[in-house]
Amino acid sequence: MITINEREIEWVPDETVLQAALRAGIAIPHLCAFAGSPSPQAACRICMVEVEGTPRLQTSCTLPARDGMVVRTHTPRIQRARRTIVELLLASHPDDCLFCPRSGDCELARLAADLGIRGRRYAGLKKSHPLDVSSPSVIREPNKCILCGRCVAVCHSVQGVGAIDFTGRGFETRISPAFYTGLNVSGCIFCGQCIRACPTGALTEKSQGEDVIRALADPDVMVVAQVAPAVPATLMDAAEISSITEMLETLSGALRQIGFEAVFDTSFTADLTIMEEVSELLHRVKNGGALPMFTSCSPGWVRYVEVHRPEMIPYLSTCKSPQQMMGALIKECYPKQFDTKGRRIYSVSIMPCTAKKYEAQDLGDIDAVLTTREVDQLLRRFGMQFTPKGPRAPLDVPFAEATGAGRIFGGTGGVMEAAIRTAHRLITGEELKGGPKVSDARGLDQVKVFSLDVAGTQLNFAVVNGLGEVKSILHSVAQKTSPLHFVEVMTCPGGCVGGGGQPYDTDREAIKKRLHRLYEVDRKSASRLSHDNEQVKSLYKNLLDQPLGAMSHHLLHRSYLDRRKG
**SS3 sequence of 319-341:** ECCHHHHHHHHHHHHHHHHCCCC
Residue 373, pLDDT score: 95
| pTM for the predicted model, two decimal places | 0.93
Nearest to 329 by CA among 374, 396, 384, 419: 396
Specify the amino acid at residue 453: D
Determine the CATH number of domain 226-565.
3.40.950.10
pLDDT at 224 over 90: yes
pLDDT at 171 over 90: no
Q: What backbone phi and psi angles, to 5 degrees, belong to 256?
A: -65, -35
For 349-393, the pLDDT digits (tens) are 999 999 999 999 999 999 999 999 999 999 999 998 887 778 899
Residue 338, pLDDT score: 87
Average pLDDT, the chain: 93
Burial 384-399 (b: 16+ CB within 10 A, else e): bebeeebebbebbebb
Confidence of residue 1 (pLDDT cuts 50, 70, 90): confident
pLDDT at 450 over 60: yes
Determine the CATH number of domain 2-74.
3.10.20.740
Which residues have CB under 8 Å from 286's CB, separation 6+?
A: none
The SS3 assignment for 382 reads coil
> Beta strand pairing status for 58-59 and 48-51?
antiparallel
Specify the amino acid at residue 448: K
pLDDT at 565 over 80: no
pLDDT at 402 over 70: yes
Nearest to 134 by CA among 191, 186, 212, 179: 186
pLDDT at 467 over 70: yes
The whole-angstrom separation of Cα 15 and Cα 11 is: 7
For 310-357, the pLDDT digits (tens) are 999 999 999 999 999 999 999 998 888 888 888 999 999 999 999 999
Sheet order of strands, 447-454 included:
293-294, 486-490, 457-465, 447-454
pLDDT at 243 over 70: yes
Confidence of residue 507 (pLDDT cuts 50, 70, 90): confident
Question: So where are the chain's domains?
Answer: 2-74, 89-205, 226-565
Residue 499, pLDDT score: 95
Does the 89-205 domain belong in CATH 3.30.70.20? yes
pLDDT at 36 over 70: no
